[in-house]
Structure 1
């Protein structure tokens, strides 16, 4: 089991309080899927219409590949209110995100959540926290598992930032005192996460490029997407991310940023659209991971532009999958330190 660093804060989860299940479930609505798809510019019709999802082999509207971030953000908040209560959300920076999609999330799903705090490491005065989240459907089948890496700055929050947040952000209800919102369990009570090959065996894909069309080194067509301040405000509301650096110039200035910046997971969501536009089938994306290395500044008077490129790193003829390396830049600056997707092909 991963160990806490010797100088890790005493309020962090202890060795026997690393495995949790959540009291409530998340009921996936088709309207929420549509709102999220619009917010991350995922335009495939299977995110909106049952008959288009049926053409891909699914009987209900399917969620975009990064939809799990909506549920994951709530998991992070609950952990910060309880097991990781030393840290403040305003001092948390997300650095890495991995989604392993065992089957697409669909409208009508009632998803239960489990979480494991896999490690807390102290490095140069910051704590690096890794959390694994697991979403299960009503039959206890793993639908999605995800790993999130966070950097927590230690020490008291800047009082000016605290005053600013109090003045512009909707007050957040703390769930720390609610009964049984989070239950510590033994590791044996956490669901076994199957291999993607096991989960995906026999599931349909309808991609436009076929496995036979591709070779290692193949370059995907380049694509450019744009973001406005309105896109950022919309994503903040749909995703539930209240960080004011994404809509307040003053907050961005206090954080040392040149201007308001886009959410890292919004940029990741745009990358999912880049993949889907090429594949023709959003459900063909099995795994998608990004290490965030830069930010997209979004001026109040003109949109920002993000350029996406990709190439095939490897092909697996047994499973008919491709490993794709992605690159994203804005204003000539790199946004992803490392981004990779595994996709199944027709």
Structure 2
């Protein structure tokens, strides 16, 4: 539990705007970067070979654009499990994700993880049910106290829903163990959260932006320019691998029983896996992962994955606007599976050469 009585007794609404810090820093490992890049098919060589990272101006491997989800997802689960205890993590749905990049995450980084409950919006009524929309802002800070990345996650928490005891028992037989912190345990979870006093929340400097080395020339683009189409296939093996690598415990991604209990036709791909695959589509065209400054997705659909057949995902993109003077562009991205849209919105902001 947080190490203040105030956090224990406060309601969720009382904690909006309050800052927390993950108890221990996160060491970014070289092999974890490679492992995650393989899981999301991020094939840019700077994620895999140090000499290619050096060509981009970095001394160690660059993490994939969605690598921070490994840290952010565990942090959000800890926040709900031990701080926002009015909610049940099993009754939450990830609906929106934004990453804002100051520089790439690098192998060897020691990252402090600061968390703030940015907002809680209530939606009540017969049409929508009783839901709270919770936005959590996670800032990753390096050893020089400079921000590296900001992750903004919105989840919807369903309230007042009675769970079928038989379904709960069934889910208990397939869920991954150890993914929810036990407040009664004597084990000190290094991912546990500490509530910060207002004077402990430091103002962070705005570091100089990373300079992309190899990327698309600004003078070759205009609003409406189409990116080449892309396509990948995902299998059950990809889903199981991603679940393990990312630490995502939701069994709807690997158990038919859990998927059916959730009202799904079959096992479905993780939304963050789909976002990671979209990042590879973007970076393959862009040429340099460090050129990405913002990547935002609103999840709207799912990718069903049958036991013995791969499911295709198709990608599209177009240029929304170009600022040739500053060498930047905004892009609109799309992903579909079996003709169904996966994103309600997917946009990226990039630097150009």
Match for 2:201 among 190, 194, 199? 190
Partner of 1:176: 183
Do structure 1's residue 166 and structure 2's residue 172 form an aligned pair? yes
- Flag as ranges the 4+ runs of structure 1 deviating above 6 A: none
Match for 1:150 among 136, 152, 155? 155
Do structure 1's residue 342 and structure 2's residue 352 form an aligned pair? no
Distance across 1 between alignment mates of 2:26 and 2:258: 31
Partner of 1:91: 91
Shift of 1:189: 3.5
Distance across 1 between alignment mates of 2:317 and 2:214: 17
* Cα separation, partners in 2 of 1:78 and 1:306, compared to 1, 3 Å: same
Do structure 1's residue 80 and structure 2's residue 80 form an aligned pair? yes
Q: TM-score, normalised by structure 2?
A: 0.90
What are the superposed Cα offsets for residues 145-197 of structure 1, whole Å, 9 maximum, x if unpaired?
01100001113433233212211123225153566932222445334466xxx
Q: Any stretches of 5+ residues in structure 2 without a counterpart?
A: 1-8, 125-129
Q: Is the 8 A contact 2:145 2:204 kept in 1?
A: no
Partner of 1:323: 330
Shift of 1:258: 0.9
Partner of 1:224: 231
Distance across 1 between alignment mates of 2:16 and 2:69: 26
* Cα separation, partners in 2 of 1:119 and 1:48, compared to 1, 3 Å: same
Distance across 2 between alignment mates of 1:278 and 1:179: 44
Q: Is the 8 A contact 1:13 1:83 kept in 2?
A: no
Q: TM-score, normalised by structure 1?
A: 0.92
Q: Is the 8 A contact 2:82 2:181 kept in 1?
A: no
What are the superposed Cα offsets for residues 184-219 of structure 1, whole Å, 9 maximum, x if unpaired?
22445334466xxx5454x32123421111111101
| Greater shift in the superposed pair: 118-127 or 133-142 | 118-127
Compute the RMSD of aligned alpha carbons.
Answer: 1.9
Shift of 1:122: 1.7
Shift of 1:137: 0.6
What are the superposed Cα offsets for residues 89-131 of structure 1, whole Å, 9 maximum, x if unpaired?
2111000000001110000001011111011122130111000
| Greater shift in the superposed pair: 231-240 or 183-192 | 183-192
Counterpart mapping for 1:62-141 below 5 A: 62-124=62-124, 125-141=130-146
Q: Is the 8 A contact 2:17 2:119 kept in 1?
A: no
Q: Any stretches of 5+ residues in structure 1 without a counterpart?
A: 1-8
Shift of 1:13: 5.2
Shift of 1:264: 0.4
Partner of 2:49: 49
Shift of 1:340: 0.4
Shift of 1:10: 6.8
Partner of 2:6: none
Match for 1:275 among 270, 275, 282? 282
Q: How many positions carry a matched residue from both structures?
A: 334
Q: What SS does structure 2 have at the residue aligned with 1:36? A: helix
Q: What SS does structure 2 have at the residue aligned with 1:121? A: strand
